[in-house]
Amino acid sequence: MPEFQLYCFAQSGNAYRAALMLNLIGADWEPIFVDFFKKGVQRTPEYRENINEMGEAPVLVHDSRKLSQSGVILTYLAEHSGKLLPRGEDERLEALRWILFDNQKVGGNLGPYRFLRNFAKPPGHPAVLEFLKRRIDGSLAILDKRLSRNPYFLGTEPTIADVSLTSYLYYPPEEYGFDLTAQHKNVAAWLNRIKALPGWGHPYDLMPGHPLPA
């Protein structure tokens, strides 16, 4: 059995952070499919009792541990492997700052926008999508400005802050209806740098569940 198991599904940017991290550190891992859309496995009493009381994915299983919340998983894997690890207290706090910003503002807006546009039935109201789009544009502008200074968010080397911020940015443009990087050239260059790292994989290749059944 692989050392790590990751409860995940291909459409989840939150799960992608964890899957990408596992691949980048060269971990021995396997995905365990969470049928989020068709069966709603995450809402069942069995899942909440035995896997994650919060009813969410991803969940990382390692030995006797079951870890949820992607920021926790990234931190654990970095400390366990010594890879993509912020150095010293200042970098650790700075990485945490960007991980929280990602969860609240970057993935926190991109995730609902993409869900409402592609998967919700009925689709999200245009006014809601417009509101989220404005917030997405503002958040991406902040990332772009930061990346005008350094190749990665904490400086010259990638860390878990970078892994976290990739969460929803590699999904196809047609799922958003616009190109996330068209107006944000520094973000585009950074995504290419991450893509060039050994072990990088697209979310639809690393995790099961794509394409969704008709």
- CATH architecture for the domain at 4-83+201-206: 3-Layer(aba) Sandwich (3.40)
Averages of pLDDT over each 10 residues, the chain, 214 residues: 98 98 98 95 96 97 98 98 97 98 97 97 97 98 98 98 98 97 97 98 98 87
Q: How far apart are CA 112 and CA 63, in angstroms?
A: 33
Q: Render 97-144 in DSSP notation, one character per residue.
A: HHHHHIIIIIHHHHHHHHHHHHT-SSPPPHHHHHHHHHHHHHHHHHHH
- The structural domains of the chain, with segments of one domain joined by +, span 4-83+201-206, 88-195
Q: How far apart are CA 79 and CA 33, in angstroms?
A: 26
Strand segments (E) across the chain:
4-8, 29-33, 59-62, 65-68
Overall CATH class of domain 88-195: mainly alpha
Question: What pTM value is reported for the model?
Answer: 0.97
Query: Which pLDDT does position 213 carry in this prediction?
Result: 86
In which residue are the tokens 């869900």 written?
Answer: 115
Q: Which two tokens stand for residue 39?
A: 């069966």
Q: List all residues 6 or more positions away from 139 whose beta carbon is below 8 Å from its beta carbon.
A: 101, 105, 106, 109
Query: Which pLDDT does position 208 carry in this prediction?
Result: 98
Residue 200 CB neighbour total at 10 angstroms = 16
**Of 56, 66, 148, 63, residue with least CA distance to 103:** 56
Query: Which pLDDT does position 113 carry in this prediction?
Result: 98
Query: Which pLDDT does position 214 carry in this prediction?
Result: 74
Q: Which two tokens stand for residue 91?
A: 């970098």
Residue 43 CB neighbour total at 10 angstroms = 10
What count of Cα atoms within 13 Å lies in the side-chain half-sphere of residue 8?
A: 32
Are the beta carbons of 56 and 42 closer than 8 angstroms?
A: yes
Peptide bond into 112 cis (omega under 30): no
